[in-house]
Chain A
């Protein structure tokens, strides 16, 4: 009985040691992955910052104004003025869609026997 106890204990110790060994390596792997991910996040943040700065630089009012001037022929953009305001009731409603034809009656070719529309 006692021998069995000893053996079981020894087996348990071996098992636990093996489990701890594996967990240790898994933790190391997870930490490595975490570090890689964090580095990627950092790089993405830096890139995002760069892109935001570039966006702001490309959208600076001076440049937009110059572009509007250069492309005036095509776009015709002018600064917003008071006379460009309108009222909603000045905008015409879109013309109503024609009623759907559900039951067409042929009138053009009536009487001309033998001829039908394809």
Chain B
């Protein structure tokens, strides 16, 4: 580029010759040069702005196009995924204490129809009715020919049924994947597991929600994808549960009972190892709640945690244990159990109008004397008795972790007067569930600590607050053992296992008031075993049992609940790994297994 000089010599000389100021030439040139520079700078800035604007335009177009693309395409899983963060879309399994499956998922399909895409509606309806005998041909045809654009035909179909529908070749019949909850053991532990059903349903997936039992109680946990498929481990033992159910079912049938329940609980951890309520149901095909009749007669009713009953004489041991704990008596103290005894004008009678006279505290329990227990309770006083039962959890629903347990609110009188004190001491006038009783006996068996019954697997002892001194708990355990060796529960004397327990026979109250039935009882046997170092509590309750081998039906717990409980312990104690205390008599039966 040729630069024009600011003071061209020719023009300076010429100006000087004319007498003009040569500086004017220089200024003029400087001005011209500045103008040129300005023009250049402006055009350059303009072009830069243009380029920048173009860049922005391109960027906006790219971003806009990308946004539109992302918005309009189907969502897709990221293809490059780091392994490790496990996300399980499935509902978690439920397993027993040894990891055996109690509830799992099963992949199946749902069948739906889009009638506007169907070719042969009549044929399809007819053939579907052939494949699924429970569907009605006319109804299907009505649905297919009506104005509906979407029809659920069947919620769950098997692979064979799916293939059969597929073979129809009807384009309007479509399948959606479904997760189905499966309880492979059928009726086993039905009341604990509860059941599941579908919540919100879509074509490609459906929500599985729990409707009862642990399925409902732990619904959030089971559905949480963050658990990574970790199963819910219960404290139940599948084998023991199966054995207990079998024995109880047999006992219920033999004794003509209309219902039965049993609870086996670890006294140190509070784990419920088996809980049975009969009659039961199949959670795979959970029946609908009954709309008429007594809800307590429905198979859905869980007698172990919902059945609030007067459990009778099984409560006597609490009065005796508290009296020993307070130092009022020792097991050898002589108590006046003679009649007649009237409290507030109400006569306190004995079983079969017996009169025991004076006897020791241990004998009061062994022979199950109402008057003797009542007199001890009067010594203790109503307030202390109520506080003790409250500490044992007898006045609130159990903390057992299934939704039904909250419905087991015990019934007890608002005014805890002298009469109530006496009747409650022998288990009348207070209604609790068998689960409450199990927790109470566990406190006696483990040396005086309250343990709350739990359905979840625990790792060690879960002692709650102390409710009894070790001395009183030990004395109570010994008394329970004496009931079996020389008292009302003599049928529970077994050569192999030593157990202690207390029977209870309570007349059933008539519904809607009006006193008690003469011929309907709730027979209960609450036992602890092994007797010398109790580890387990077993409660067996039979609803309206009658033992008919004699001249007239026998209904007392000693004839009904005790033999069932003894049979059950004979079956489940070996499964619990307890060695029999008496050596087997036939060593010849042992065969050499090595070589």
Please determine whether A53 and B106 come into contact, CB atoms closer than 8 angstroms: yes
Q: A82-B570, A83-B580 are in contact. Are A60 and B185 (CB under 8 A)?
A: yes
Please determine whether B590 and A86 come into contact, CB atoms closer than 8 angstroms: yes
Please determine whether A91 and B590 come into contact, CB atoms closer than 8 angstroms: yes
Q: How far is the CA of A52 from the CA of B102 in the complex (A)?
A: 11
Question: Which A residues are in CB contact (< 8 Å) with B90?
Answer: 49
Please determine whether B107 and A46 come into contact, CB atoms closer than 8 angstroms: yes
Q: How far is the CA of A50 from the CA of B594 in the complex (A)?
A: 38
Please determine whether B81 and A84 come into contact, CB atoms closer than 8 angstroms: no
Please determine whether B574 and A81 come into contact, CB atoms closer than 8 angstroms: yes
Question: Which B residues are in CB contact (< 8 Å) with A94?
Answer: 592, 594-595
Q: How far is the CA of A79 from the CA of B80 in the complex (A)?
A: 54
Which of the candidate stretches A1-9, A17-25, A31-39 sits at the interface with the other chain?
Answer: A31-39
Please determine whether B104 and A81 come into contact, CB atoms closer than 8 angstroms: no
Q: How far is the CA of A59 from the CA of B495 in the complex (A)?
A: 33
A15-73 contacts to B, CB under 8 A, are: 31, 34-35, 38, 46, 49-50, 52-53, 55-57, 59-62, 65
Question: Which B residues are in CB contact (< 8 Å) with A117?
Answer: none
Please determine whether B595 and A31 come into contact, CB atoms closer than 8 angstroms: no
Of chain A, the residue at the smallest CB distance from B573 is A82
Please determine whether B104 and A49 come into contact, CB atoms closer than 8 angstroms: yes
Q: How far is the CA of A86 from the CA of B90 in the complex (A)?
A: 46
Q: A31-B79, A91-B590 are in contact. Are A79 and B243 (CB under 8 A)?
A: yes
Rounded to whole Å, the gap between the CB of A14 and the closest CB of chain B is 25
Name the contact of A61 in the complex, choosing from B185, B570, B571, B593 (C-beta under 8 A). B185
Which of the candidate stretches B198-206, B316-324, B581-589 sits at the interface with the other chain?
Answer: B581-589
Name the contact of B584 in the complex, choosing from A65, A79, A83, A92 (C-beta under 8 A). A83
Question: Which A residues are in CB contact (< 8 Å) with B185?
Answer: 56, 60-62
Please determine whether A87 and B583 come into contact, CB atoms closer than 8 angstroms: yes
Please determine whether B496 and A52 come into contact, CB atoms closer than 8 angstroms: no
Rounded to whole Å, the gap between the CB of B238 and the closest CB of chain A is 7
Question: Which A residues are in CB contact (< 8 Å) with B107?
Answer: 46, 49-50
B242 CB-CB contact with A under 8 Å? yes
Question: Which A residues are in CB contact (< 8 Å) with B182?
Answer: 53, 57
- Taken residue by residue from 92 to 103, chain A's Cβ proximity to chain B (1 for < 8 Å, 0 otherwise) reads as 101100000000
Question: Which B residues are in CB contact (< 8 Å) with A79?
Answer: 243, 571
Q: A56-B184, A60-B186 are in contact. Are A81 and B80 (CB under 8 A)?
A: no
Question: Which B residues are in CB contact (< 8 Å) with A65?
Answer: 242, 246
Please determine whether B80 and A34 come into contact, CB atoms closer than 8 angstroms: yes
B29 CB-CB contact with A under 8 Å? no
Name the contact of B239 in the complex, choosing from A31, A61, A82 (C-beta under 8 A). A61
Question: Which A residues are in CB contact (< 8 Å) with B595?
Answer: 94-95
Name the contact of A82 in the complex, choosing from B80, B580, B587 (C-beta under 8 A). B580
Please determine whether A49 and B105 come into contact, CB atoms closer than 8 angstroms: yes
Please determine whether A31 and B184 come into contact, CB atoms closer than 8 angstroms: no
Please determine whether A57 and B575 come into contact, CB atoms closer than 8 angstroms: no
B21-65 contacts to A, CB under 8 A, are: none
B471 CB-CB contact with A under 8 Å? no
A80 CB-CB contact with B under 8 Å? yes
B308 CB-CB contact with A under 8 Å? no
Chain B contact residues, majority secondary structure: loop
Please determine whether B587 and A90 come into contact, CB atoms closer than 8 angstroms: yes
Question: Which B residues are in CB contact (< 8 Å) with A91?
Answer: 590, 592-593
Of chain B, the residue at the smallest CB distance from A83 is B584
Q: A61-B188, A85-B579, A86-B584 are in contact. Are A52 and B104 (CB under 8 A)?
A: yes
Interface size class of A (residues with CB under 8 A): 20 to 34
Which of A46, A52, A56, A91 has the largest count of B CB atoms less than 10 A from its CB?
A56
Q: How far is the CA of A62 from the CA of B79 in the complex (A)?
A: 45
Question: Which A residues are in CB contact (< 8 Å) with B571?
Answer: 79-81
B227-266 contacts to A, CB under 8 A, are: 238-239, 242-243, 246
Q: How far is the CA of A75 from the CA of B201 in the complex (A)?
A: 49
B100 CB-CB contact with A under 8 Å? yes
B101 CB-CB contact with A under 8 Å? yes
Please determine whether A86 and B497 come into contact, CB atoms closer than 8 angstroms: no
Q: How far is the CA of A56 from the CA of B238 in the complex (A)?
A: 11
Q: How far is the CA of A79 from the CA of B496 in the complex (A)?
A: 15
Q: How far is the CA of A79 from the CA of B106 in the complex (A)?
A: 32
Question: Which A residues are in CB contact (< 8 Å) with B104?
Answer: 49, 52-53, 56
Question: Which A residues are in CB contact (< 8 Å) with B246?
Answer: 65
Name the contact of B184 in the complex, choosing from A35, A60, A85, A87 (C-beta under 8 A). A60
Q: How far is the CA of A79 from the CA of B583 in the complex (A)?
A: 19
Q: A31-B79, A34-B80, A61-B242 are in contact. Are A50 and B580 (CB under 8 A)?
A: no
Q: How far is the CA of A46 from the CA of B580 in the complex (A)?
A: 45
Q: How far is the CA of A55 from the CA of B101 in the complex (A)?
A: 9
Q: How far is the CA of A38 from the CA of B573 in the complex (A)?
A: 47
Q: How far is the CA of A55 from the CA of B184 in the complex (A)?
A: 9
Of chain A, the residue at the smallest CB distance from B587 is A90
Of chain B, the residue at the smallest CB distance from A91 is B590
Q: How far is the CA of A89 from the CA of B238 in the complex (A)?
A: 32
Rounded to whole Å, the gap between the CB of B386 and the closest CB of chain A is 41
29 A–B contacts, CB within 8 A, in A order: A31-B79, A31-B80, A34-B81, A46-B107, A49-B104, A50-B106, A53-B101, A53-B105, A56-B104, A56-B184, A60-B186, A60-B188, A61-B242, A62-B185, A65-B242, A79-B571, A80-B571, A82-B584, A83-B496, A83-B580, A84-B574, A85-B574, A85-B580, A86-B584, A87-B583, A90-B587, A92-B592, A94-B594, A95-B595
Q: Which residues of B contact A (CB under 8 A)?
A: 79-81, 90, 100-101, 104-107, 182, 184-186, 188, 238-239, 242-243, 246, 494-497, 570-571, 573-575, 579-580, 583-587, 590, 592-595
| Apart from A34-B80, A79-B571, A80-B571: 13 A-B pairs, beta carbons within 8 A | A34-B81, A49-B106, A52-B104, A59-B100, A61-B239, A62-B185, A82-B573, A82-B584, A83-B580, A83-B584, A85-B584, A91-B592, A91-B593
Question: Can you list the 9 inter-chain pairs with the closest CB atoms, starting with the nearest?
Answer: A82-B496, A61-B242, A56-B184, A82-B580, A56-B101, A57-B184, A80-B574, A60-B185, A83-B584
